[in-house]
Structure 1
Amino acid sequence: MRTIDDFPLPAGEDWEDLFTLFLSLDNHKKRPDKEWYAKVKVVLDKIGHEQYLDVTVNWLIAKCEQLQRNIKRLDEFLKKSWRFRLHEDFPLTQRMEKVLENQRPAWVDVVLGTEYYYTKENPLYLRDGYYYFYTLGGRIIRGTLHTNMILENEVLYDMMDVLMRLAPEVTMDILHIYRNRDAAFAVPRLMIVRDAIRHKTYRRAVDTAIAKFGDKTNKTSGAEAMKERFIPDMDFNNRHQLLVKDGSYAMGIDLMLAGPEIVLLENGVPAIKVPAAVKKELTERFKVFQKKHKEISAHYTLQKNRLEEIYRHNREWLYENWEPYYITHPFVGALGKQLIWEFVNGDQSTTAICRKGTFVNSVGEEVNWVEEPDTIVRLWHPAKATAAEIADWRNYCIQHKLKQPFRQAFREVYRLNDNHNNWSVDHFEGHVVKQRQYNALCKMRGWSTGDFRHEHTNIKLPAYKLTAYLCIADVWYDSLSNGDHLQVTGGVDFEGKGYSGNMEDIPPVILSEVLRDVDMIVSVSSIGNENKPVTEVMEKARTYYEDYTKRSLSPIGIVRRDILQLLLPHMVYSDRFRIDDQYVHVTGTLANYNIHIATGQATNVATGLGVHIAPSFSRNAGLFLPDEGDIMLTVILSKANFLAEDDLIADEHLLQRIKYTSHRS
C-alpha cells in the first residue's frame, strides 16, 4: 500500500481521483465550491462511506497526535531559548532544525522559497500565508474535513473540534462546514471549542459564525444571544441537581450547594456519615454520570466565564426573555440565582437576587413587580451603585453565606479619582513588571500584547465601540534573572467612535472593568511581589522594589482589606488580629507579625525580617469566603492563622528563625 504524507492510500482509481481533488485545495483563503463537493460525493459513493471513514479517521487521529507533539516540542524549545535570544534572532540549533523538518517537507522550501517564523499560538504560520495549506498533509487534512459536509459523521465532527484547538489555521474551513448544520447542533459545539482556542482572531471568527445563526445585524449581541439559546441542560433537573438516591441519602452534583463538585447528601444537606453499604450502592449507580463529571466541570467554568463577560457586552433583556435562560434553566439557572440583577420597569427600579423561588432585595424584602414580562433586566455592577448599597449586598452575602460564581458584590470598583480611598488612575503608571508574566496575564484577560515592546497592549470593546490601551514606557534587559526582560508601565487610554479623550465620558461599568483588568495584570506581574534580597534586583529597579509596599492599595487591595475586616472577627484567633490601611497585624506567642495586604508577605515586627511560610489552604477549612476570585486573600488568611499559633510550629528551622529574630529585639 502506498502512503502520501503517512496516509495509507488504498489502491484503485477512485482513491486516486479523491486525492487529486484533495490536492487541489491549495489556497487557504478559498473554500471548495459546489462543483468540488459534487465530484467528491460521486467518488465517496464509489469508495463506500464506511471504508473511507475507516481509513481516514485513523489517519486523522495520528495526525492530531503528531501536531500535538510538534507544538509541545516547539514551545519547549522557545521557552528554553528565550533567555539567550536578547534582541537578536537566535540561530537554529539541531533540535530546532529537527522540529522544523518534521513539520515542513523539504519540497515546500523549493516551491515557496520564502521565510518562515513560528509563534506559540500558531506554530504553523508563514509570513506570506499558512504554509501548512501548501503541503501534502495540509491539503489532505482540508480535504478530509470538507468531506464531512457530505457525510455529516459524528466522529469527524469530533476530530474537527480537536483540530480547531491544535491547529487554528483550519478554523475557517471548519466554520464553513458547521454553517451547513442547524444552530441546535453547531452552536453548542462551537461554544465549547471557542474558549479552548488561544488565538483571538479565530475566537472572534467563531463568535461571528455563531452570530450568523441568529441576529446578523449585531455580531456581538447576536453571538451572545445564540450562545444562551443553545446551552445544554447536561441532564440536570429543574432544581439544578444531578443525583442518584437511596432513601434519605443521595450522591451527585448539586450546583446550588457545591457547584460542580460531587457530594453525598442526607435529607438534602451534606451528609456527615453515610452507611458503607449505601455509599457503595450510590457510587455504583452514579458511575453512569461520573464519566461526564469532567465535561460538567468544564461546562460550569465555561458558563461562569460567559456570565462574567456580560459586563463587556453591555447586555440587557426583557424579563420574559431573560428568565428561561438565567433562572429556570436546569444548568445556568444555578449560576443566575447566585447573582445580583438590576430591574427597571417604568419609574420602578431595584436590585434583587432570586432566593427560594422569589426575588429579594439587599435587606431581604420580597420584590414582586420585577417578574412582569416587560421589566428590563441587567447584570448588576457595583460601579453604578452607592457605597451604602454595595455595603448592604456585601453584608447580605456574608449573613446568608452566599458564595457567588464570580466576584460581584465584592467586585473591585474603579473610578477616576477616588479621594475616599486615596486612589487614582495614575496608580498604574511606573510599575516594573516581568515581561513574560505580564504577557501571559494579558492573554488570560483577553488583551492583545501587540509588538515586542508591548507598546500597544489593547483590548477591543465592540459593544461600547471603544478600544482600551495600556502603554509600556520602557523595557529593560535584566541580567540578574537569566535574561528575562522587565517593563515599566505607562498610562491607560481609550479611543473609539465619539470618544473625546476625556475618560469621564467612558461608561462607569466598562471603565471599571478595564481598570480592574489592568490592576490584576500589573499587580500580579510586578517585581514587588517577589521575596528576595534587594541585591538580587537589577539596579534600575531597586528603588521601585524597596518602595512597593509603601504604595497605597489599589482597589484590589482595598476590597481584600474590606473582606478581611468582615471575616477576621469570626475566626478562632480574632483577638490576635488587627487591620490598618495596608497590613494585617498578628500577635503571636513568640513574636508579632505584619502581613502586607497587597503582597501577602509576612515580616517580624521587631526586626523587619521576612518570615517565609508556605501557605496551606487547609488552614482555612470551614471558613466561609464570598467567592473564589482572590487567591491572595486565602494566602493571607492561611498565614494569619499559622502565625497566631506560632508556639505550635513544628518546623525547627522556621521556629529557630522566629525565636532568633525575637531575641535580637
Structure 2
Amino acid sequence: MGGWTAFLPDLTDADRRQVEAGLTEADAQIRAVLHVASTYHWGSSPTDIPKWTAVASWPAEQRRSAALAMHLKSCTSSIPIALNEVVRSLTDGDLPWTRSDLVWCLDVAGRGAEYDNGAHLELPAIIAARLAPAELVDLVPALEGLTNELLNDYFISVNTRRRAVLLIGQAIDRATGRRLPSRLLHGGDAFGPLVRAELGAALAAPGVPELLTHCASLDKPAAPAKWQRRVDELLDTTPGGTAAVRSVLEAFAAHCRPLHDDSDRLLRGLVWALSRQPDEQATDLLARVTAAAAAAPRQASGFPHAQKTAVAAIQLLAARDGDAPVRTLARLAVTVRNKAVQSRVQAALTHLGALRGWSLSEVMELAIDDHGLDSEGRLRTPVGPYEATVDVTGEKARLTFARDGDPLKGVPAQVREAYGHELGQLRDLVKRVGASLVAERQRLEGLLSEERTWSYADWSSRFLAHPITGPYARRLLWETSADGDRWTAGLPQRHGEGWTIVDRDGRGVPGDRVRLWHPIRATTDEILAWREHVLATGLTQPFKQAFREVYLLTPAEERTHTYSNRFAAHILRYRQANALMRVRGWQAGYLGTWDGGYDSEATKSFGGGAWRASFHHHLVADEDPHSYDARYCSTDQVRFVLRDGATWQPAPVVDVPAVVFSEAMRDVDLFVGVTSIATDPEWADRGEDRFHGYWHSAASAALTQSAEVRRDALARLLPRLTIADRLNLGDRYLHVRGNVRDYRIHLGSGNIMMAPNDAYLCIVPGRDRTGRLHLPFDDDPMLSTILSKAIMLAADDTITDATVLRQLAR
C-alpha cells in the first residue's frame, strides 16, 4: 500500500481490544456458513443459499464482528470476488459502527496484501459512508490518500474501485463540507484538478453539482429517454447549468490530454447535455470536443484521450446541421486509428451522407476545411504594424511576417510581446492547416482504390482550386473523357482563371468527366512514357502514382480462391510493422503473450468503404521464456470481404476489383519490404540463428513488385549520376565498381555483397548522400538507401568509418 497509512492515528490498546472482541468466534461462524456455500455453484452469490437466511437474522453486534472477521480474511488471503457480497450483506441495516472500527479496518488494509478482487476496500468504504462527519475530520488525509491511490489502480475491478471511491468520497465530502463531489473531476488525471482550480466556484454553485453528478451517471453511449428528461429538468432549473456544461467541455477541448475513466464518463454525459442546445456555438464546441476526445497520444498506440466521450460525441455530432460535423468527422476518418472509434466515425459519416444525399467518399471530399485560405493556399492578416501570412509551401504550412512589404526573419519581438494572443491564434492555425494537409494526402491516395469520376467543374473546384487539396492534386495524373469510354491521361495546367488537363506535349485534352489515373488501367508503353515525363520535368508527386506498383491476380491466388498467400511466411520486426500498419490506415490488435494476443488481423477499407482487406499475422515467440516483448511476427493470408448493408460478406479474390486488390496488396508488400528482418543490415551480427535461413533467402530473393518498380526508377535515375560509369543494373542487383572492391546491392532488401567471395557488408543507413538528385516520389526510403550506398561504395577508398573499413579488409 502507499503512503496514505502514515496519516492514520494510532489505536489505543483498549480501542483495539474493543474492535477485535468476538472476532475469533465470528470468524468460525462465517467459515462454517461459507463451507456450506462452497458446495453450491459459485456462479451465484453465496448469500442466495438457504443457509444464509440464518446469518441474516443474526443480531447487529454479531454481524458487525462477522464483517470485521471477513475484512481481516480479505486482507490476508485472496478470496473469490463473490465474497465481496458477503461483506455487503453482513453490513445491511443500522450496525453500531465506530470511528475505531474504521481506523482498525484502514490499518489492516494498509498492512495487508492487495488483491484484484478489491475485498480489502469493501468494509472501510461502507463504515466511512455511515459515520458522522465529526468522526471523520481527522481521517480525511488518510481517506484522500487511499482514494488517490485507488484511482489508477487498474488491478482492481472497475466496479469495485468505483464503488469504493464513491463511498469514501461521500464521507470526505460530508467531513469537509464540499459542494462539488470528490469523485467528480478528481486527481486521477491532470484535467480534474485543472478544472477545479479554474471553475471551482461555478461548479459548486447551487444545482450544478447535482447536474454534474447526473451526467456522470450515464453508463452507455446512448442516453435513455428517462435520463434525457432528467438532464433537461436540471438544465432548466439550474441558472448556471448550461454555462457550467460548456465551460468544462471548453476546458477539455483546450486541454486535449488523456482522461481518467471517471472523467471520461462525466464528459460523455456532458456532451449529451450540450446536445440539448440547438445553437451553432454548441455545434462548434461539440465538434472540437469530438476531435479532442478521439485524438490519441503517440505512445498510446492509437488509444483515444477519452473513448467513451468520443463514441457518444460522434453519434451526436452526426445529427447536427452545418459544415462543422462534416469537416470534423471526415478528418477523424483519416486520422483515428482506434478500431472502436473508427467504426463509429464511418457509420456516422455514412448516416450523415445519407441524410444529405452524398456518398461516403463525397462526404469526405466536401468536408475538407479551407481554414480561410485563398485558392493559392495563403491568408494575410494585419498584426499591429506587421502583416502576417499563413501559406502552404510544398506540403507544409508556415507563418511569416512582413513590414511595409519587406519580409522579416522570424517573429518580430513586438509581436511576441504585445500581440501574444494573435500570435497564438496564428500558430494554432498553422498547426490545423498542417493536420489537414496530412489527412488530405492520405485521402487522395485512398481515391486510387475507387472508381469515381467527377464533372470537370467539380474536379476543378474541389481539387485544383482548393487551398489544401490543390498542392497535391496539381502534381497528380488525371484522365478525362468525353464519352465515358475512351480516357486520355494528362497533368493539370492553369488556363486563364481555371484549369485544364494537358498531355505530355502540352496539348489540352478534351472531355467533361475526370478520374484519377491509376497504372492498372494503362498500357505498359503509357506507364513508361509518363514515368520518363515525370523525371524529365522534375515533378515530385505527393505519393507514387506514375511509378506505382501494380499487383495482378496470380494463378496461385485463383486456386486458393478465398485468400492470397503471396506475402505469407515472412518474419517482420513487429513494433515497426505495427506502427507502419497504423500509418497506412490499417487497424490491428496488438500482439503479445496474453490470451488472444498470439494472432492479429489488420484491416483496412478500400473502394470508398465498399471493400475491406484483412492481413493476418502471428506472434513469433521469443526464445527467452521470461520475455514478454513482441519482437517479431510472421505473416499469413490476405483476405477480402464486401460490405452488405451493415455486415461484411467474405468474397473470393477473383471478385475483388482490380484496383482494390492492387492497393491492398501494395500495402502488405510495403509492410514486408520495410520491416522484414531481411532489410536489417545489422541482422547478421546479432547472433540469432533461428531465422538464419529466412534472412539469407529473403535478402537475395526474386524482386517483389515494389522492388521491380524501384528497379525501373533506378534505370532512369542512374544515367543522371556522375558515377554512372561505375554502376551496372542487373535483374536483382545494382553492381557497383569501387576502387577497393566490387559490390552488388540487392534491389529488394538493400543488402550488400562484396566480391570476390560474396562476403556480407553491413552498412547502417545514415546521412542521405543522394545530394540534389531529383527523385520522382519520396515514399520509398529503400530507393534513397540504395542510391546512398552506391554513391558511398563507388568511392570506397575515401571511407573513414572504422566498422566499414574492418569489413573491407577481411
Measured against the shorter chain, the TM-score band is 0.7 to 0.9
Q: Give the Å deviation of 1:344.
A: 2.4
Instruction: Give the counterpart letter for 2:466 in structure 1.
Output: H
- More moved, 188-197 vs 475-484: 475-484
1:185-204 equivalence runs, <5 A: 185-204=324-343
Deviations 1:522-549 (A, max 9, x none): 2223222223465856555322122112
2:481, 2:519 → 1: CA distance? 16
Deviation at 1:557, TM superposition (A): 0.6
CA distance in 2, matches of 1:542, 1:496: 39
Q: What is the SS of the residue equivalent to 2:443?
A: helix
Contact 1:338 1:353 in 2 (8 A): yes
8 Å CA contact 1:553, 1:582 repeated in 2: yes
**Structure 2, gaps ≥5 residues long:** 1-177, 186-195, 296-304, 416-421, 557-562, 590-595
Give the Cα–Cα distance (whole angstroms) in 2 for the partners of residues 198 and 353 of structure 1: 33
1:320 & 1:157 partners in 2: Cα distance? Answer: 30
For 1:12 and 1:169, how far apart are their aligned partners in 2?
27
Determine which of 206, 209, 234 is the counterpart of 2:348.
209
- Residue 600 of structure 1 is matched in structure 2 by 750
2:638 to 471, 475, 492: 492
2:538 paired residue among 393, 401, 406: 401
Q: Which position in structure 1 is the counterpart of 2:731?
A: 581
Q: What are the equivalent positions in structure 2 for 1:100-179 lying under 5 Å apart?
A: 132=261, 135=262, 137-150=263-276, 152-153=281-282, 157-165=287-295, 166-179=305-318
* Structure 1 residues 265-310: Cα deviation after superposition (integer angstroms, max 9, x where no partner): 9xxxxxxxx99x9443786599785553332222111111011111
- The equivalent residue for 1:649 is 799
Tell me how far apart the structure 1 counterparts of residues 679 and 791 of structure 2 sit (CA, whole Å).
Answer: 21
The answer to whether the 8 A contact 2:699-2:751 is kept is no
* CA distance, structure 2, for counterparts of residue 59 and residue 389 of structure 1: 53
The residue type paired with residue 293 of structure 2 is L
Q: Residue 258 of structure 1 aligns with which residue?
A: 394
What residue number does 1:26 align with?
219
Q: Aligned ranges for residues 267-278 of structure 1 at < 5 Å?
A: 278=406
2:613 aligns to what? Answer: 468
Change (3 A) 1:366 1:36: farther
Overall identity of the aligned pairs, in %: 25
CA distance in 2, matches of 1:146, 1:539: 58
Post-superposition shift, 1:50? 4.7
* Counterpart contact for 1:26–1:139, Cα < 8 Å: yes
The Cα shift of 1:410 comes to: 0.6
> Is the 1:168–1:197 Cα contact (8 Å) retained in structure 2?
no
Aligned-pair CA distance for 1:140: 2.3
Which stretch shifts more, 169-178 or 234-243? 234-243
The TM-score normalised by the length of structure 2 is: 0.62
Question: Which digits, 9 at most, give the CA deviation of each residue in 1:201-230, with x for residues without a partner?
Answer: 322321332333333498xx6232122223
Which of structures 1 and 2 has the larger relative contact order (alpha carbons within 8 angstroms, sep 6+)?
Answer: 1
How do 1:61-76 residues align onto structure 2 when only pairs under 5 Å count?
65=257, 67=259
Larger deviation, residues 286-295 vs 228-237: 286-295
Q: 1:565 to 1:324 in 2, by over 3 A?
A: same
| Equivalent position amino acid for 2:233 in 1 | K
Counterpart of 1:547 in 2: which secondary structure?
helix
Question: Secondary structure of the residue that 1:306 maps to in structure 2?
Answer: helix
Decide which structure has the larger Cα Rg and report it. 2
Q: Distance in 2 between matches of 1:13 and 1:354?
A: 63
Residues matched between the structures, number:
567
Q: Report if aligned partners of 2:736, 2:744 keep a CA contact under 8 Å in 1.
A: yes
Structure 2 SS opposite 1:42: helix
Say which is worse superposed, 432-441 or 177-186, in terms of deviation.
432-441
Equivalent residue, structure 2, for 1:35:
229
Query: In structure 1, what is the equivalent of residue 408 of structure 2?
Result: 280
RMSD of aligned Cα (Å): 3.9
Describe the superposition over 1:411-454 as per-residue Cα deviations: whole angstroms up to 9, x where unpaired. 111113499xxxx9754233233444444433433344465343
Alignment of 1:242-641 (within 5 A): 255=392, 258-260=394-396, 262=398, 278-280=406-408, 284=412, 289=426, 292-346=429-483, 348-357=486-495, 359-370=500-511, 372=512, 375=513, 377-417=514-554, 427-449=566-588, 452-454=597-599, 456-461=601-606, 463=608, 465-472=610-617, 476-479=620-623, 484=630, 486-496=632-642, 503-532=653-682, 536=686, 539-641=689-791
In the TM superposition, residue 22 of structure 1 has moved relative to its aligned partner by: 1.8
Q: Report what 1:76 is aligned to.
A: none
Say whether the 8 Å CA contact 1:168–1:199 is kept in structure 2. no
Give structure 1 stretches of 5+ with no counterpart: 68-102, 104-131, 266-273
Change (3 A) 1:263 1:591: farther
1:353 corresponds to which letter in structure 2? L
Q: Is the 8 A contact 1:430 1:490 kept in 2?
A: yes
What CA distance in whole angstroms lies between the structure 2 residues aligned with 1:447 and 1:581? 32
Cα deviation for residue 389 of structure 1 reads: 0.8
Over 3 Å counting, the alpha-carbon distance change for 1:627 and 1:253 in structure 2 is: farther
Q: Which amino acid aligns with 1:354?
A: P
Are the counterparts in 2 of residues 434 and 527 from structure 1 also a CA contact under 8 Å?
yes
Change (3 A) 1:460 1:348: closer
Structure 2 counterpart of 1:363, one-letter code: R
